[in-house]
Amino acid sequence: MIIKKLHEAGLRSDHAYTAAVVSIGLSFLSWTASVKGEAAGTDRADRWGIFVGEWAPTFFGLGLALAQYEKD
């Protein structure tokens, strides 16, 4: 039901896959920016990188579900 609504709203599997890859890149960038820009050290940078990096599997899963829906 959710996948159908997302598909009807114009979201396609390619969009979700692109968001996943961008999320991986943003994870690296947020880690780098946090290491260089904050005095809190690598612990905080690791948390930022992990927080953003957790989005990627969600987007990949959404892409797979949308791809399956698009086949039917």
Residue 1 CB neighbour total at 10 angstroms = 5
- The stretch 18-32 carries a mean pLDDT of 90
Structural domains in the chain (count)? 1
Q: Name residue, tokens 């698009």.
A: 70
Q: What is the pTM of this model?
A: 0.80
Kindly write down the DSSP assignment for every residue of 28-56, as one continuous string. HHHHHHHHHH-TT-HHHHHHHHHHHHTHH
Domain that holds residue 61: 2-70
**Bigger pLDDT: 35 or 66?**
66
Cβ-contact 3, 67 below 8 angstroms: no
H helix or E strand, kind and range, residue 9: none
Q: Ranked by mean pLDDT, which of 26-30, 34-38, 60-64, 68-72 comes out on top? A: 60-64
How far is it, in rounded angstroms, from Cα 67 to Cα 65?
A: 5
- The stretch 37-49 carries a mean pLDDT of 72
